[in-house]
Amino acid sequence: KYIVVDQLDGSITIYQEKEMKLIKKIAAIMFAFMMVFTLSSNVNAEEPAGTGKIKIDNAISGESYTIYKVFDLESFDGDNYSYKVTNEKWKEFFKTGEGKTYVDINDYDGVTWKNEKTATQAEKESLAKELAPKMLKFAKDHADGIAGISKPASSNNLVFERLSLGYYLVDSSVGALCGLTTTANEATIHEKNEKPTLNKYVNTYDVAHPNHADRNSLKKNTTNEIGDMVWFTAEIDNFKGAEQLVFTDIMDSGLSLNGILNNQVLLQVSLVKRNVTENVTDADVENLRLNTDYTTVPGKEDGKDKFTLQFTDEGYKKLEQYYENYVIRISYSATVNKSALINNENTATLKYGNNPNVITSNAYVGVLSIPVFKSKNDNTPLPKAEFSLYTILDDANNGVNPIEFKQDDSSKEIYRKATNEETDTVKKITTNNTGKFEFYGLKEGEYYLKEIKAPEGYNKLKEPIKVTVTKKVDNDTKMVIGHSLNYTYGKNAGNGVTEVQVINETGSLLPSTGGMGTTLIYLIGGALVLGSGFVLANKKRAKAK
């Protein structure tokens, strides 16, 4: 086979097919070589003149970093630099806003720092540290006029390249100031922060001072009765330099948030020494002030109670002051309501930084039950037995103040613990034809089940049955998933069961005593009565005749 190729000069060249394939291979190799050369040239290209870099060293992977150009570098001469503000929004901030306390702007928009000649380097750094968060807030509030450049960190090193020289504001979860000049056009910022952490607990410590709780009093789960108040505590750590902290807590439908007053939430917010795990005293706690250091707003989400807490500028100053040795504790209470389930979840969420990043932590409140099965010896259900439940016995082994219950709407066999506000409550439960009923809405502990009345023909239990209720918890999630019961009373016994079986014995006909004597007396007496009646009747007839 032959291939005819028309050349550019008008001539015609004839190639065999094999020769043509070789030419194609050579052309492909040369083209690939040119591509690689071109790409490598771009990679190794030097920074254009008049541009610089900002390197974030020890960046946190997954975090987003943003830079804002504040001033342009106009000129320099040795150690003297001339900065100018050209952005209209930044002019507003430094001429009439909070920035005017730190910077002077002349008629030509030139920039000089306050006390430039007299202030020490340490004083200048302190002022810059104070000014940074104010600049960050202004930049974010005026995003329409101040454009930031954002990059996510995929490793420990992040670089912003090809930046025009000037003075830049760098934002991660901490505000940092960095200047780029012609003599130092590569600046490195070392990220000293870690991601904030959030841990949510049920607080079993003294109600009056929940933020003084020792470490053993903070638990991931507990159990409570319907109507009980339960305290929660959230701990935030590693908050050095953190900005835009937004804490939100959402109650499950079985929990009602307490202390909502004037659109605020009654809670305690404190800074507590990290290394003090027990015997926390006032000296270990720095309390924060509502509406001065933080604000709260209650609300609803899908019908569930929630609130949001945010720190003020004054609050961030305190956080910056105490971050090294302290954690933030936020404590607040809720009431277990009649909608409570076996497991009631309380979810805390912390948002921080620009993204915003989100951390979630949960704590759980369990509500337990005591199911009862009243039966005969052959496990046949036994109706019309009456029971009450107690937590206290007197010296005579009788129950004191039976617990009040309300028959549940979902099942006639379920009796949930009544709240203080409810009426038409019951203190005695009567078994139906199934022989089953359930006391619901209880916490872990010891209870006494007393039979008040036995069915006709059966013997009533002489003493209450002691029942110990404990919770079952999922090892991974720490959620409350059920209950376990221990009880003992003669043949009525169970260990690690889920139901109390109460077996009743039938009564027996008592034997007679004393032989036939008593029977004969009854017979003779009856005969005399009949005889007397007969004689009396005959006398009346005789008189009548």
pLDDT in tens, the chain (545 residues): 444 444 445 554 554 555 555 555 544 444 443 433 333 333 333 445 568 888 888 888 877 888 999 999 887 766 677 889 999 999 999 999 999 999 899 998 999 888 777 888 888 877 887 888 788 889 989 999 999 998 888 888 899 998 988 889 888 765 566 766 665 678 887 776 678 899 999 999 988 899 999 999 999 999 999 999 999 999 999 887 676 789 999 999 999 999 998 888 999 999 999 999 999 999 999 999 999 999 999 999 999 999 999 999 899 889 988 888 999 999 999 999 999 999 999 999 999 875 567 899 999 999 999 999 999 989 999 999 999 999 999 988 889 999 999 998 778 899 999 998 998 999 999 999 999 999 999 999 999 999 999 999 999 998 999 999 999 999 999 999 999 999 988 767 889 999 999 998 876 544 544 455 555 555 666 666 566 666 566 665 555 55
Residue length of the chain: 545
pLDDT at 17: 54
Structure tokens at 538: 């005959």
DSSP secondary structure letter of residue 192: -
pLDDT at 8: 47
pTM flag (> 0.85):
no
Task: Please give the Cα distance from 336 to 242 (Å, whole number).
Answer: 34
pLDDT at 544: 55
Residues 6+ apart with CB under 8 A from 282: none
Task: Please give the Cα distance from 151 to 66 (Å, whole number).
Answer: 6
pLDDT at 48: 53
Which SS3 state, helix, strand or coil, does residue 292 take?
coil
Q: Give the Cα-Cα-Cα angle 426, 430, 435 (nearest 5 degrees).
A: 140
Sign (positive or negative) of CA dihedral 104, 106, 112, 115: negative
Burial class (CB in 10 A: 0-12, 13-18, 19+), 324: exposed
What does each C-alpha distance from 416 to 93, 174, 424, 480 come to in angstroms? 61, 51, 13, 18
Distance separating the N- and C-terminal Cα atoms of the chain: 163
